[in-house]
Structure 1
Amino acid sequence: MASLLAATGLFVPAKAQQQTMLVVPGSEQYSKIDTAGTSVLPSGRWIRPAGKTIRITHDPFGLVVSPDGKKAVTLHNGVFTIIDLATLGNFRVPDYDGKIKSPLSKGSFLGVAFGPDSKTIYLSGGDNGAVIVYDTERLQRLDSISLNGTVNGKKYDDSFTSDLVYNAAGKELLVLDRGNFRMVRIDLATKKIKASIPTGRQPFGISMSPDNKLAFVANVGMYSYPLIEGATPANYDSLMINWHPYGNDTKESIEGTVIDGKKIPGVGSPHSPEAMSVYAIDLATNKVVHRLKTGMQLGQMVEDAEVVGGASPNSIAVGKKYAYVTNATNDNIAVIDYRLHKIVTHIPIKVDQRIDRYRGSVPFGITLSKDEKTLYVALLGMNAVAVIDAEKHTTKGLIPAGWGPARVRLSKDEKELYVISARGYGAGPNGGQGFVRPVQGTYVGDIQLATFQKIKVPNAQELANHTKVVKENTFREVAAPLTNNPLPPLPGLYGSPIKHVVYITKENRTYDEVLGQLKTGKGDPTLARYGKDVTVYGKQDTLRNADVMPNHSKMATEFAYSDNFYCDSDASIHGHHWMVGVIPNEWVETNSSVSKSAKIFSEAPGRRFPGSTGSIDPEDYAEIGGLWEALERHKVSFYNFGQANETAHVREDWDDTLTGAAHGVMVPMQKALWSRTSHNFAGYNTNIPDQFRMDQFENEFTRLWLNGKDSMPSFISVMLPNDHGAGPRPDDGYPYVHSYMADNDLATGRILHFLSRTPYWKNMLVIITEDDPQGGVDHIDAHRSVLMMAGPYVKRGYVSNHHANFGSILKVIYNILGIRYVNQYDITASLLQDFFTDKPDFKPYNLVLPDKRVFDPARAMKRYNKEIDWRKIMQGPEMDNEEEQRTDHYQQENK
């Protein structure tokens, strides 16, 4: 079928007829949990775990099997689960009744080990910097051993306990302290620290050689982040700068720079031996005998793409000759000959030749068989365990697990595998008619229980069957539809009339609470607390028949929306990765579920940077990046309003309006994004009205692309975050929590009103979504959220029932702009062609003003001494006056 489609400018070549594409198996299904059959995840992938499965508390990242092989302990944040391996009977510490108390005071992190008696366990205390000793039979805390103190004349404070291992030969514990970047040796007879050995940055995983002579440490940190030069507690606020100081891996980030007359220290080279590396420590001498950089290194080329993210080495299994290290970013396993102190090879983890060129398996936990012939690797991103031939360096097959497998262990007799998966079968509904509140609560992160699996170690035929199931759970291949649809089914298959994509991201809402009243969608109107004619409760008053988010309802019904869209994320730390095409790695996942506190002026360097938030930090980067790097790589013009301005512990005051945040700890931004980010648009900061952001956006858009010399970029991202909500501030125009939603609704209406009156509208697509669903409730699934599209080539009055997630959104962007997919979630995502039409309707959108009882824009802007000119806003943006431009041209020429 070769035809020139005059109405759209599409050209579909005849050769394109033979193309196929990949989509998720649940592309026509709603998310659901069916523990006896097939569960459909928010990603559209299926879950059908092998073996016997029980559900336990969410997000276990530590797993140990007792020396006698009878029980296992899984470690969560502030919780652990004791499991009888014969019967899978289990109980939680603390229990929900409050009868069994938790020995963990401030959470926990990764580390759990059994003593030789198979009843005493040692638990990472995480943020409190201690190791907790506990009797699993008497259910009694025995001791707490602090990592703080003086060792060899050096004082250590603010420790943060990470992974740990029991050393039978020395009757000691080897404990990682991610606060102070070190390994600590604790004599269990005296309960004293007998040695402290410096490691690389953010030590994460630890293991020992079979002869107990060497300890191996995997360091996931990229940098030790400095403060602005001269910062003290007294002057810190005055020294902070208004944006990220530099792009990553630039001259400025390595050597330092000057901003507003302030000296900004650099973070050094990403190739430093302390950065994302594996250390081997001789336990006889307490000396580091080698520092190795595993995986792909920054600047290397993977096919036609430059590596921008570190390998993220995280977990280690050690045999008599080789140590095996999982590199999460590279989807491979480093093989280290530790006697020769060198990396001998990397084993690529293979899933299927159709997706193996892309990353996204995210290898995490690893274990080695006693004969050292087989490795078992938990694939956090693939919902499977990889079985690796350690001698031939090949992938033998895959075993289906739950959502987000983190750790895998072998039974004592090696006849069984034990696997923990952080999110199990998913969340399911957390509200609505007939919903019964479970004991763990209704918050999205709590309601989705983890799983513990007991699986028979498979023979060759069983492994082949398991592998088939994993592939079926992940994707299916279908013919690429060849129509005159403005969304090509594959990148570059044909041209699209859409030339500009605007990506509007908001914060924390579910579908039902915003759009649940729409009769055309699958909603529960009883949950639509931000809908029409709802009751709004304040501290001292009640409003009835309020209309909280009228623009959202109007945009959804005038254009197109999905009632089957899900955020892959639970919270912002995940969401701001997923929405820009970066799969959260093991560092992001574990940090998102651990209690942690920043200590800016601590001598412990890890305390200045306890974990990621709204930005993607150097520890989080994907191998070849995400959306921003893909746009840059394909020379597609783009500009960012508000994304990636928030690192951990920034200041977010009402007057931090240039980017929404003020920075005192110097963390780089992605190099591709740094020079393309507005320095006059407030990102996440609910102290700043979304109306203020809209003034910033309209002014900068007008200056750059309406009255300026340049044309609008092909891609623009805009953050409008105030539907996140915050505490009532009546004096500032926010008398209710609902006021933030109304502010956001008006801003969202304003931006569509504005954009649809620019000359670019005729070739524009606007995508509106949320970063995560954690603030809300939904009767289908706690991850179900808001996705709307608008533009001339978007169907009018349409509701899509096809599955959608962030991968689907990115597939829309990549396919329209002709960009190669970045990861396995992009290439296998649902195709959302049903949103589009080849018969454009250029009619603009007309915004709806808010219910002033809920939100008064004028009052919100009063503290900025700014008035909103509604007449000008309703009229739309001012275009260039040709006569004025001609006059100005000649005036400038005469000068």
Structure 2
Amino acid sequence: MRKRQRAAALVTVIAGAVLVGGGAAFGVAGNFDHPGPRPDGTAMTPVGWQVTPAGSTHPAGSFPANAVLSPDDRAVLVPGVIRNAHSRQTVDVLDSRTGALLQEVELNPDDATKREGVAPGLVFSHDGRSVYLATANKNSVLGFDWDPAARRLTPTRTLALPDGSYPQMVTTSPDDKTVYAVGQYARKLFAVDVATGATTSAPTGAYPFGVALSGDGHTAYVSNQADKTVSVFDVNATSLVPKAPIAVGTHPNHLLGDPARHRVFVSNGDSDQISVIDTRTNAVQHTIALSPYRGAGAGTSPLGMALTSDGKTLYVANAGNNDVAVVNTGSGGDFGHVNGLIPTAWYPTGVQVTKDGSRLLIADGKGLGTGSNKGSATLADPTNHPWIEDLVKGMLQVVPTPSAAQLQRYSRQVELNNDTTSSGAVRGYGGGAPATIIPRHPGQGSPIKHVIYVVKENRTYDQILGDLGKGNGDPSLAIFGKDVTPNQHALASKFATLDNFYVNGEVSQDGWDWATQGNSNPYNQLGTHQGYDGNGSEYDSSGYLDSPVTAGGADPGKAFLWDRAAAAGQSFRHYGMHSLPADWFGPKNQVTCASGEYCAYEPLLNQNTDHHYPWFDMEITDQSRVAEWKKEFDQYVAKDNLPSWQFVDLPRDHTYGWYAGGSTAKAMVADNDYALGQLVSTVSHSKYWKDTAIFVVEDDGQDGPDHVDAHRSPALVISPYTQRGIVDSHFYNQTSALRTMELLMGLGPLSQYDAAAVPMIWTFGDRANLTPYEALVPRQSLTDRNPANSTSVMTPQAIQGAPDQVDEHALNEEIWRSVRGPHANVPPAQHHVFPAQGQSGTADH
């Protein structure tokens, strides 16, 4: 049942449900869909997949990371891991029949300095009188009394864990005297005596997450997300004795115990499988495949699970595919068969089934998406718009258990929603497809032999190109308009205007993975929403760059675009994308970094890194970054050995606050723009221009408003084969860009998402225009400084010493304050040519 056939774009009505197939009818002029909620309760995600949640839907906090039923099935509890409207994290108590909100518990509301952390770990005691919640960054487990009659939580106790524990999942002993908590960053399982608070611990594997007990309570199992293992412990009260670990799939996360049948189910988040452990032998008994088709890349991302009382049906929340899989786990010969799929909203994290099996409760982390975040922001008052993470609202679905016939209809709906294909054919070709150099089949070949992939930071389309004068822009939001970003305006106008392009993630933590591997795996998705924005997650120490756990795919060593290029024998050079300064490296890292250099965590990437190319440091101009890049580029020209790929980070459009004497936001964005113009000018005046394509995207769009969707972002495709001067409003996103680069260079897809993405077919023609590009000097001064009376919650020391601890929401507000300040009179824009040795050409005015 998991096999999905590609569906034609269509709208059909089945049993009262609207079936939306694959989004836009690609190639049909005028059909330019975009992400976000729709009036009928459906939506499209930024990756281009539809969501049509079954059953009834109800608000359920901000990014609910789990769903837990009360023992009497009358209430469902969901921990919301993002702050609510009051900047607090919550546990919502909802009616399990109607979805009505019964109670919202704000955690630590008197703490104005650091929000209480919330993890997916939430469990009822066996006697049904208590609830325990893991707090992640607060290094504790919170205890609540549960009133089943009133269906209310009352905070009663805090079970402290050592600093740096970062607990994720919890469970209780059969006698309820011991709470077991997984310390993800401590790499330990903790056993806490409820009466005394006394704690013991034992080491686990890397990045532990889930925990479950055997039926007798004497064996504990812990999933290790970076080790492909489940740790095993003999347990006696608070005594923990390690035993041999069990090998499972890639990046295991949630565990579900089935004591009556001596089983533990393991969700393998990046091999897209369920491992079934026999607790009598501590061996994997079965492996259940959840991929949508044979040979599919990563992307299903199974998370929470639930089992019917008779043990015959397992429900799995497939976060990446936006469905719940219905799996046969009875004793018949078709054990592990996926009977069908239930459509959900965006990113289901948890599922529960009532004891009588009559209904399912599904928590959806991202609901129906964000839509526009313009608010009342304008050029005159640009501060008044919601931040993107504040727009991520979760949902609870209450779904009557479907009959076999209804499940078949639901399954068809999921196939249409995702429109994945097992054939390997490139989507988008068909009636109306133009003459283009984009291959129709992987490996077909193209005139492009070199790709330069540039990733910048945090801007929306309207912020930069809203005043372009062509395409779908809102000039009232263009705070970094033509005077500040003349090169991006000229490149978008002279080459192709892409006014319907979207980033896939919300912020930098998940955005960078989407931009470089076409996926953001379960570890990174939870970490993004749980701990980003200065809330104490490992992102704050750049642990998110530790590729063994963030790399999505059954083989983490092949997850990123540069991994795929190297495996195909293609050369590449890396400039700053995953680089850190030497003093951030230590004994635990896989590489050694010399003082004054910038290095990458992954050995392969580090071997191909320019160690003199500066990382994220905002005090360093992007012009100096491009000067370092150009020094190497000129050498490649001279030696005729330009790498097939170049991965270039130009980060300074991120900006960094409004402190006295610091560079203004406009000056930093102008510097970034001028650097990009110099890069393009250099390439276009070189002998490599004829067979090079330059792709420019933002990692995310979090620091600005957009009148279409908070994910809409500027993107540029610059090559001799780009269709000059067109407005291409077809729906594209970061995975479309990846798919396009892969096809041009003869590579296969990285994940299910770029495999299903429509490449940028209409952006490219089939004839070369070799006219070079001349860089423009911005009218905006590149050296403007904030006035002496500027005040900031940021400091240069905080940002340069630990940049990822910055409160991005506060930074966003400060950008707007900075933009509204005065700036010096500036000269008109000037053309600036950066010719390569021995090259000349006609200026592109």
| TM-score bucket of the superposed structures, by smaller chain | 0.7 to 0.9
Q: What letter is aligned with 1:693? A: R
Matched, 1:794 2:722: yes
Partner of residue 837 from structure 2, selected from 878, 885, 888: 878
CA distance in 2, matches of 1:141, 1:833: 56
Matched, 1:328 2:269: yes
SS in 2 for 1:409: strand
> Following TM superposition, by how much is the alpha carbon of 1:400 offset from its aligned partner in structure 2, in angstroms?
0.7
Q: What letter is aligned with 2:168? A: S
Q: Deviations over 1:288-345 (max 9, x none)?
A: 34411212xxxxxxxxxxxxxx444443343422221111111111121221121233
The answer on whether the counterparts of 2:191 and 2:201 sit within 8 Å (CA) in structure 1 is: yes
Q: Deviations over 1:235-259 (max 9, x none)?
A: xxxxxxxxxxxxxxxxxxxxxxxxx
Q: How does 1:399-548 map to 2 (within 5 A)?
A: 399-431=342-374, 442-475=386-419, 480-481=429-430, 484-493=435-444, 495-532=445-482, 547-548=483-484
Residues 523 and 330 from structure 1, CA distance in 2 versus in 1: closer, same or farther, beyond 3 angstroms? same
The answer on whether the counterparts of 1:510 and 1:783 sit within 8 Å (CA) in structure 2 is: yes
Residues 825 and 585 from structure 1, CA distance in 2 versus in 1: closer, same or farther, beyond 3 angstroms? same
CA distance in 2, matches of 1:811, 1:405: 26
The answer on whether the counterparts of 1:219 and 1:314 sit within 8 Å (CA) in structure 2 is: no
Q: Which residue of 2 aligns with 1:697?
A: 629
Q: Deviations over 1:612-655 (max 9, x none)?
A: 4467454434224231221122212222111111499949xxxx
CA distance in 1, matches of 2:347, 2:267: 15
Matched, 1:130 2:70: no
Q: Which residue of 2 aligns with 1:564?
A: 500
Q: How does 1:391-406 map to 2 (within 5 A)?
A: 391=330, 392-406=335-349
Q: What letter is aligned with 2:141? A: V
Q: How does 1:335-346 map to 2 (within 5 A)?
A: 335-346=276-287
Q: Which residue of 2 aligns with 1:375?
A: 314
> Following TM superposition, by how much is the alpha carbon of 1:121 offset from its aligned partner in structure 2, in angstroms?
2.3
Of stretches 103-112 and 197-206 in structure 1, the one that deviates more from structure 2 is: 103-112
CA distance in 2, matches of 1:89, 1:663: 56
The answer on whether the counterparts of 1:770 and 1:787 sit within 8 Å (CA) in structure 2 is: yes
Matched, 1:87 2:98: yes
Q: Deviations over 1:482-532 (max 9, x none)?
A: 864111132123x31122111111000001111111232111111111114
SS in 1 for 2:165: coil
Q: Which residue of 1 aligns with 2:647?
A: 717
Q: Which segments of 5 or more consecutive residues in structure 1 lack a partner in the other structure?
A: 1-18, 149-156, 223-274, 296-309, 533-546, 601-605, 652-657, 858-869, 882-895
Q: Deviations over 1:574-621 (max 9, x none)?
A: 111111124221111111122489999xxxxx9799664467454434
Q: How does 1:264-279 map to 2 (within 5 A)?
A: 276-279=229-232
Q: Which residue of 1 aligns with 2:553?
A: 622
Partner of residue 67 from structure 1, selected from 40, 65, 71: 71
Q: What letter is aligned with 2:387? A: Y
Partner of residue 30 from structure 1, selected from 27, 34, 39: 34
CA distance in 1, matches of 2:832, 2:300: 47
The answer on whether the counterparts of 2:118 and 2:136 sit within 8 Å (CA) in structure 1 is: yes
Q: Deviations over 1:403-437 (max 9, x none)?
A: 111111112322111111111111111115699x9
Matched, 1:577 2:513: yes
Residues 639 and 611 from structure 1, CA distance in 2 versus in 1: closer, same or farther, beyond 3 angstroms? closer
The answer on whether the counterparts of 1:276 and 1:313 sit within 8 Å (CA) in structure 2 is: no
CA distance in 2, matches of 1:116, 1:59: 27
CA distance in 1, matches of 2:584, 2:105: 34
Partner of residue 316 from structure 1, selected from 256, 263, 266: 256
CA distance in 1, matches of 2:582, 2:80: 22
Q: What letter is aligned with 2:124? A: F
SS in 1 for 2:407: helix
Q: Which residue of 1 aligns with 2:669?
A: 741
The answer on whether the counterparts of 1:332 and 1:363 sit within 8 Å (CA) in structure 2 is: yes
CA distance in 1, matches of 2:441, 2:629: 32
CA distance in 2, matches of 1:561, 1:503: 18
Q: Deviations over 1:340-375 (max 9, x none)?
A: 12123321114245xx53221011112222222211
Q: Which segments of 5 or more consecutive residues in structure 2 lack a partner in the other structure?
A: 1-5, 10-20, 27-31, 82-88, 422-426, 586-591, 786-828, 841-845
CA distance in 1, matches of 2:775, 2:593: 26
Residues 30 and 316 from structure 1, CA distance in 2 versus in 1: closer, same or farther, beyond 3 angstroms? same
SS in 1 for 2:744: helix
> Following TM superposition, by how much is the alpha carbon of 1:102 offset from its aligned partner in structure 2, in angstroms?
11
The answer on whether the counterparts of 1:105 and 1:125 sit within 8 Å (CA) in structure 2 is: no
SS in 1 for 2:510: helix
Using structure 1 for the length normalisation, give the TM-score.
Answer: 0.76
CA distance in 2, matches of 1:291, 1:381: 28
Q: Which residue of 1 aligns with 2:774?
A: 846
Q: Which residue of 1 aligns with 2:297?
A: 358
CA distance in 1, matches of 2:321, 2:552: 18
Matched, 1:197 2:148: no
Matched, 1:186 2:192: yes
Residues 528 and 669 from structure 1, CA distance in 2 versus in 1: closer, same or farther, beyond 3 angstroms? same
Residues 854 and 609 from structure 1, CA distance in 2 versus in 1: closer, same or farther, beyond 3 angstroms? closer
CA distance in 2, matches of 1:832, 1:783: 18
CA distance in 1, matches of 2:434, 2:531: 51
The answer on whether the counterparts of 1:397 and 1:463 sit within 8 Å (CA) in structure 2 is: yes
Q: What letter is aligned with 2:392? A: Q
SS in 1 for 2:131: strand
The answer on whether the counterparts of 2:120 and 2:169 sit within 8 Å (CA) in structure 1 is: yes
SS in 1 for 2:776: coil
Residues 382 and 660 from structure 1, CA distance in 2 versus in 1: closer, same or farther, beyond 3 angstroms? farther
The answer on whether the counterparts of 1:609 and 1:648 sit within 8 Å (CA) in structure 2 is: no
Residues 852 and 179 from structure 1, CA distance in 2 versus in 1: closer, same or farther, beyond 3 angstroms? closer
SS in 2 for 1:192: coil
Q: Which residue of 1 aligns with 2:791?
A: none
Q: How does 1:275-286 map to 2 (within 5 A)?
A: 276-283=229-236, 286=240
Q: What letter is aligned with 1:450? A: G
The answer on whether the counterparts of 2:318 and 2:325 sit within 8 Å (CA) in structure 1 is: yes
- The root-mean-square deviation of aligned C-alpha atoms, in Å, is 3.5
Matched, 1:56 2:60: yes
The answer on whether the counterparts of 1:108 and 1:595 sit within 8 Å (CA) in structure 2 is: no
The answer on whether the counterparts of 1:642 and 1:683 sit within 8 Å (CA) in structure 2 is: yes
Partner of residue 116 from structure 2, selected from 78, 99, 106: 106
Using structure 2 for the length normalisation, give the TM-score.
Answer: 0.81
SS in 2 for 1:207: strand
> Following TM superposition, by how much is the alpha carbon of 1:829 offset from its aligned partner in structure 2, in angstroms?
0.3
CA distance in 1, matches of 2:110, 2:834: 65
SS in 2 for 1:50: coil
Residues 615 and 634 from structure 1, CA distance in 2 versus in 1: closer, same or farther, beyond 3 angstroms? same
Partner of residue 681 from structure 2, selected from 736, 753, 774: 753
Q: Which residue of 2 aligns with 1:638?
A: 572
Q: What letter is aligned with 1:559? A: F
Q: Which residue of 2 aligns with 1:677?
A: 609
Aligned length: 738
CA distance in 1, matches of 2:61, 2:470: 36
Q: Which residue of 1 aligns with 2:798?
A: none
Of stretches 481-490 and 833-842 in structure 1, the one that deviates more from structure 2 is: 481-490
Residues 614 and 168 from structure 1, CA distance in 2 versus in 1: closer, same or farther, beyond 3 angstroms? closer
> Following TM superposition, by how much is the alpha carbon of 1:170 offset from its aligned partner in structure 2, in angstroms?
4.0
> Following TM superposition, by how much is the alpha carbon of 1:681 offset from its aligned partner in structure 2, in angstroms?
1.1
SS in 1 for 2:671: helix
The answer on whether the counterparts of 2:36 and 2:709 sit within 8 Å (CA) in structure 1 is: yes
Q: Which residue of 1 aligns with 2:802?
A: none
Q: What letter is aligned with 1:38? A: T
> Following TM superposition, by how much is the alpha carbon of 1:283 offset from its aligned partner in structure 2, in angstroms?
3.8
